Amino acid sequence: MLTVCMKTEQKKLKHSHLWLVFAGIPLLPTVLGGGNYLNNLEMLKSGWYSLWTQHSLFYASFFYGPLIAIYCSYIWRVEHLNYNWNSLMTMPTSERDIFLAKLLMSLRCTVALQLWVGVLFILSGKIVGLPGLPPGEILFWLLRGSLGGMVTAALQLVLSMMIRSFAVPVAMALLGSVAGFLMSSKGMGMLWPYALMMEGMNANKSTDVLSNPVGFGAAICGFLILFTSIGVCYLKYKDVHA
């Protein structure tokens, strides 16, 4: 039934224009990061790694969280409109599969977004005159950030499920991301769900400082279990009161 739920989610997104948002908004951190790099060449001497510090600083701290929040708000907005919530609750499937289908669709969105950001990073590097291609390590950081991004997606799914407003969860994601930047800069990123994506991406750093991959994985699993459990329990509660 999980596969059926995912196909249903795909149909809901078929005629949306979310792809325009996900294609266009990442251009902003690309331009900001590239501009900041060119303005500080006297200090940034590590080529692709230096460009990464600037690119990832803007993207991970200010854009990623709200982008995923937009996606999560959209896929729950469909359920909040008219009487779609009651229709959702009468589907012959479990609350767990409903939530997991939305989470897996969000993961697919996250991975696609990260790959697109990787393409933009390479293009910006060539535009600012960097030789060759970026080290494979940076591309690994991008994909590793997707794992941390799953936590952001799970939390935003819970918020968008509980809050009917489209904009409020997006604003909360922006505030959470800024707080995540502060937490990460103080070495407490593992304790804040919005910071895990930054930790995975090694945002604003030119060398990999994720010295505790086991702790990183444990934090991701812990938050995912927590937010998924909250989401499933909430669906069951709303089902009783539908």
Among 74-78, 103-107, 117-121, 217-221, the least confident range: 74-78
Residue-number span of the structural domain to which 42 is assigned? 2-240
Residues 6+ apart with CB under 8 A from 73: 156, 160, 166, 167, 169, 170
How many structural domains comprise the chain? 1
Which residue, among 38, 207, 219, has the nearest Cα to 128 in the 3D structure? 38
Read off the pTM.
Answer: 0.90
Statement: residue 239 has pLDDT above 60: no
pLDDT digit string, tens, across residues 28-81: 999 999 999 999 988 888 899 999 999 998 999 899 999 999 999 988 887 777
Residues 6+ apart with CB under 8 A from 152: 64, 65, 68, 173, 176, 193, 194, 196, 197
Residue 86 binned pLDDT confidence (cut-offs 50, 70, 90) = low
Better pLDDT: 224 or 45:
224
Angle between the 48-58 and 95-127 helix axes, to the nearest 10 degrees? 130
pLDDT digit string, tens, across residues 91-102: 667 888 888 988
Contact criterion met (CB below 8 Å) for 139 and 49: no
Angle between the 95-127 and 27-39 helix axes, to the nearest 10 degrees? 40
Q: Tell me, what's the pLDDT at 160?
A: 92
Statement: residue 89 has pLDDT above 90: no
Residues 6+ apart with CB under 8 A from 226: none
Angle between the 64-80 and 136-162 helix axes, to the nearest 10 degrees? 30
For residue 36, CA distances in Å to 40, 49, 52, 57 come to: 6, 14, 11, 10
In one-letter notation, the amino acid at residue 236 is K
Q: Residue 195 is encoded by which pair of tokens?
A: 């910071």
Statement: residue 10 has pLDDT above 70: yes
DSSP state of 189: G
H, E, C per residue of 100-121: HHHHHHHHHHHHHHHHHHHHHH
Statement: residue 2 has pLDDT above 90: no
Residue 7 binned pLDDT confidence (cut-offs 50, 70, 90) = confident
Report DSSP letters for 116-176, one per residue. Answer: HHHHHHHHHHHHTT--S---HHHHHHHHHHHHHHHHHHHHHHHHHHH---SHHHHHHHHHH
Residue 84: half-sphere exposure toward Cβ, Cα within 13 Å: 11
Q: Tell me, what's the pLDDT at 241?
A: 46
The residue-averaged pLDDT of 197-212 equals: 84
